[in-house]
Chains A and B, each alone.
Chain A
Amino acid sequence: MLSGMPGRVDIVVPVRDAAAYLPTFLASVDANSLDGARWLVVDDASQDGTADLLERAARERPALHVLHNATPLGAPASRNRALAEVDARWVTFVDVDDWCAPGHLAAFVTRADALGADMVRTDHVRVVGHRRIPETAPAPVREAVFDATDGIGDPGGQTLVDYPFPWAGMFAASLGQRGLLQFDEGLRTAADRPWFWRLHLAGTTCAVVDSPGYFYRRNAGSGSLTESAGEATLDFLPAYGRVLDLADASGDDRYRRRAMYGACRIVAYHVGKRERLPADLRRRLYATAALLLARGDDAIFEAALTAAPARATRLLAGLRRVGRGAVAEAGR
């Protein structure tokens, strides 16, 4: 912190062309003032006046610090830039088009301080139009510290490792010194998937707590790259390639099965929403998914497929056959 004292929490916020969302974002900052909190906002070379608006806002808010990228680097690199500045005990994330209920941050940090786990996760509220949909962080226990590998689980349903929301988590800044908070800058979307897997497999501890609420805006106008139907949408495929790498490196078949199940589920999800993709990306989705699903031995894939969405199992199995064939051909 500027005073020379370590802060309590640093909040990382990547921003690009977000002028329309700044009034809500700043209201959220004002409703979550907290001693020892610092908002590290990285303007990713915005073209819509965001930079000026942020500078003006920062003059009235000592806790708001604005960094500027000269050229657009993307959300993962912007987060990494802010992470290099972190010197508080905790670090968390906020997306600029979302908002926090008054008191959310204070309650969240207080619970994190009390429990002292490496990662403290919480629930959130998905916002679709006016509708608020509560989403519960899936956890083996609440308000208690557990080994983060217990949050990986078996194939089927949602577990904590596949609750991929950095903004619904409070992370010990010491994880950054171990290189565990850096995002993969090669991934334009889904970078949070391998990010969480790496954290869960790194001998960390975890806890899940209640909080007043993080509101996650999920709609076409929110600027979500995952929903944009552009080329970046398909970055979930290399992201899950990294997840499979991490599970393989663990040497534990339980994690391999869960990772492959996650790959099956996300492929099924994107195939189900194929109509939003242009024809060339749709074909690239199928071919690349075939290679992703070809990984690992048959027993792992069968276990994953058993728990995968029933409507997609035949297609997933077909894609794996294609991928296995191509890999075998390349090996000849």
Chain B
Amino acid sequence: MTAVVLVGAGAGLADALALARRASDEVVVLAATCAPVVELAPRLADEPGVRAAVDAAGARVLELRDHLRGQHPLAWAPADLEVDAPVLRAAVGTAGGAVDLVVLPGVDDVAVPVGDVLRAVWPAARVVRAERGGDGLVAVDVPPAAAVPVPRRRGRLARGLTAARVRAWEATVVVRAAYDVRRAPAGAPGRPGGGTR
């Protein structure tokens, strides 16, 4: 089975569907509405143009957000998959893990992060983009996003230095507060009897 990811305004659907149909008789389109306020936005899966293209290709269409527990499709992340992955697999109807190809439209980079999460839903699937070149419509492999290493300071010396700096800063704050509380005229904000503003 092939899953086609459709995002944004739905551009690139025809090419992605054509590529998917070459690979499989069974194609499901995952429509990811990407409006910032997705909860109130029209559903991409219900767009007449999308419906027509999907029907013409003999495919099925699912609105992705219906199967994510409240998350925005563009913020969907592997951390959400404990709940979402079984739901999505069941909705697509491939509990046995039969999705072997995920096709992203070639015109819109916004689909790439969604494709990356789908890699974790169906680990055996190849993720490609449908691109048009001199050889016509071709599948271009999309590599997994590289994790960005976060440098962390380690070691007792660094921790000791940090603790000493925090203590020094706390002492400065307390001394300043003592000075400011006494300096303000009686009845002024921040002064006893003057309110706390």
Contacts and interface: CB of A to CB of B under 8 A. Distances in A.
Contacts of B176: 283, 286-287
B190 A287 contact: yes
Contacts of A287: 176-177, 180-181, 184, 190
Interface residues of A, number: 42
B47 interface: no
A315 B173 CA distance: 8
A237 interface: yes
A321 B181 CA distance: 12
B40 A24 contact: yes
Nearest to B194: A291
A241 B196 contact: yes
B196 A237 contact: yes
Contacts of A321: 174
Interface in B38-79: 39-40, 70-72, 74-75
Interface residues of B, number: 30
Contacts, number: 104
A131 interface: yes
Interface in A122-140: 125, 129-132, 134
Contact of A322 (B70, B174, B195): B174
Contact of B173 (A27, A215, A292, A318): A318
B174 A315 contact: yes
Contacts of B70: 125, 132, 134, 213
Contacts of A238: 195-197
A99 interface: yes
A331 B195 CA distance: 16
A99 B40 contact: yes
Given A125-B70, A235-B197, A326-B182, A27 B192 contact: no
Given A291-B192, A315-B174, A284 B40 contact: no
Nearest to B73: A130
B177 A290 contact: yes
Contacts of B74: 130
8 contacts: A28-B40, A130-B72, A130-B75, A131-B72, A131-B75, A215-B37, A286-B173, A330-B193
What are the 5 A-B residue pairs with the smallest beta carbon separation, nearest first? Answer: A287-B180, A130-B75, A318-B174, A286-B177, A330-B192
Interface of A: 24, 27-28, 31, 99, 101-102, 125, 129-132, 134, 213, 215, 234-235, 237-238, 241, 271, 283-284, 286-292, 314-315, 318-319, 321-323, 325-327, 329-330
Given A286-B176, A291-B190, A291-B192, 8 more contacts: A24-B37, A27-B37, A132-B75, A134-B70, A291-B196, A318-B170, A325-B178, A330-B193
